[in-house]
Amino acid sequence: MSIFNFFTDQVLGMKWLSNLTTLLVENVFNLDITSKLGGSIQFFIYDTIKIFILLGVLIFLISYIQSYFPPEKTKKILTKFKGISGATVSALLGTVTPFCSCSSIPIFIGFSNAGLPLGVTFSFLISSPMVDLASLLLLAGFFGMNISILYVVLGLIIAVVGGTIISKLNLENEIQTYTEHTRELYAESENFNQKQRLNYAKEDTLAIIKNVYKYVIIGVGIGALIHNYIPQNLILKVLGDNNPFSVIIASVVGIPMYADIFGTIPIAEALFMAGVPIGTVLAFMMSVTALSLPSMIMLSKVVKPKLLAIFIGIVTIGIVITGYLFNAIGPFLM
């Protein structure tokens, strides 16, 4: 248990970095971290460095794993499964694919064009941005391993149930032809040797960090403001335990935003530190990653309005149920 706690606190949580950042703010900037300005600067520096360290390590490892699962190989695996088993395998494969919904949609389009069952493709689409190996480790660093594991399990359940429901509705005619160009992600990686896989992982890490760094910085900045400048009683009035609609509000607020797990976590952390229940915080995170408005606009080019509305409805209901469940049992897991 002591080794596990050390791993969670010092490796994933990087408490050593928090202590160094506190020393920097207090002794170099001559600011009290209990003040609004000092606390904001400490939060911003610490979270930014922490997330980029985790980003580099996690993306490299996961990109290396991804090199073994190019789209063509994934298609071959998925064609062997149908029904709930197909949805389950698809959701699990989604955990080792790209980190945001906009980069998952091109693969979803490829799966649809290849004739894979509709439920299987949607299980992948739900799982890929919302649940991945990176989210498991990142969430463990911020909220603890118990919360992290349950988040991933429930996210997979949403993906499997959502895909299964869609498969039963016989909506294949709701898919429309996508004529625009999409990038075939890591299609060439199946025959890589080890040196090529390591080089691929390095290049993919640099490319993803280049694409997401601004969202991380914006997310950390918003988190710093929430943590130190927005009155706690105002946050709790809207998103606290006393508001029975807090989970629904958090889910709706997250939709217009566009961020991946890395840019969303600093905001979620700040809300949690302000006293917002863990279920409400995670509902917000799920909404941002799985139902962001830019992603839905892109998805609307390949699915018709009826299917898009059903997809959004199923995922939203799953997120809301997950949020209320976490609010009920979360205190026992922290």
> What secondary structure letter does DSSP report for 11?
I
Q: Hey, what are 124's tokens?
A: 């992948």
Q: Which tokens is 147 given? A: 């919360």
Residues of the chain with pLDDT under 70: 1, 4-5, 7-8, 12, 69-72, 97-106, 113, 134, 177-190, 256-261, 294, 334
Residue 237 to residue 161: CA distance in whole angstroms: 33
DSSP 8-state code for residue 7: I
Q: Give residue limits of the domains in the chain.
A: 2-182+194-333
Query: 114 in helix, strand or coil?
Result: coil
Cβ-based neighbour number of residue 279 at 10 Å: 23
Residue among 213, 325, 221 at smallest CA distance from 278: 325
Read off the tokens for 52: 């980029």
- pLDDT value, residue 334: 65
Cβ count near 63 (within 10 Å): 24
Residue with tokens 């248990």: 1
Backbone angles phi, psi at 179, to 5 degrees: -100, -10
What 3-state DSSP class applies to 284? helix
Single-letter amino acid, residue 224: A
Helix runs in 81-193, H state only = 83-93, 101-113, 118-130, 133-143, 145-168
